[in-house]
Chains A and B, each alone.
Chain A
């Protein structure tokens, strides 16, 4: 079992819709969670971080964390074609060494 699991996709949504990206993790010691966006051939870019159960909103992005279910999600509202990228979920047990999922490829159709 992978430590951080993501559906590889592609997840295809129409422009303007809500994209929902999901991630599960196996290490209950994980304390912090991160969502990175990576365009093809580029470096990962931090979008959101979340540490407490519940929702955290930043513009069009909402991160959700449920530690009991070991589940993290990222919602992207009003999806745009420019949001098309691979989204990486990462977890940290406090060691500062992030454990990444393999990423979900999102395609936003114009």
Chain B
């Protein structure tokens, strides 16, 4: 079974440019999450999709960030325009609902974004 795939693995862009990150969840996982870790701080939740619908986007920092999940499969996270403070590692995760026994995320390897 393929894991959660993210690309690019690294991206270096200039302030003001646009970057799009992509995440392919594990096949069959309806739940898809975006998290990020900036400047050595803790991993922070950004948003949660259930299939193609945004279940919770309370962690999105501002309107420069736009997430989509076309057809309930892969997801993209666009940052436009990028600012220096957006630098960090962006993680995607997916999960199945497993009643009673709980659930666990499977994380992708992350995209390291550097804004210069």
Partners in one complex: yes
B54-110 CB contacts (< 8 Å) to partner A: 55-56, 58-59, 91, 102-110
B7 within 8 A of A: no
Q: Chain A contacts of B33 at CB under 8 A?
A: 96-97
A96 lies within 8 A of B55 (CB): yes
A88 to B43, CA, bound (A): 9
User: Chain A residues in contact with chain B, CB under 8 A?
Assistant: 2, 4, 32, 34, 36, 42-46, 49, 51, 88, 95-103
A44 lies within 8 A of B91 (CB): yes
Closest chain B residue to A47 by CB distance? B104
User: Chain B residues in contact with chain A, CB under 8 A?
Assistant: 4, 31, 33, 35, 41-45, 48, 55-56, 58-59, 91, 102-110
Q: Chain A contacts of B4 at CB under 8 A?
A: 43
Evaluate whether A96 and B42 lie within 8 angstroms (CB atoms) in the complex, with A43-B91, A49-B102 already known.
no
A109 to B5, CA, bound (A): 33
19 contacts between A and B (CB under 8 A): A32-B102, A34-B105, A42-B109, A43-B108, A43-B110, A44-B91, A44-B105, A44-B107, A51-B102, A88-B43, A95-B48, A95-B56, A96-B33, A96-B48, A97-B56, A97-B59, A100-B35, A102-B41, A103-B42
B74 to chain A, nearest CB (A): 17
B109 lies within 8 A of A44 (CB): no
A98 to B110, CA, bound (A): 17
A100 to B110, CA, bound (A): 16
A31 to chain B, nearest CB (A): 10
Given A97-B33, A100-B35, 11 other A-B residues pairs in contact with their CB atoms under 8 A: A34-B104, A42-B109, A44-B43, A44-B91, A46-B104, A96-B55, A97-B48, A97-B56, A97-B58, A98-B43, A98-B105
Q: Chain A contacts of B35 at CB under 8 A?
A: 98, 100
Residue among A96, A101, A103 making CB contact with B31, cutoff 8 Å: A96
A100 lies within 8 A of B44 (CB): yes
Q: Chain A contacts of B108 at CB under 8 A?
A: 43
| Residue among A4, A96, A98, A100 facing the most chain B CB atoms (10 A cut-off) | A96
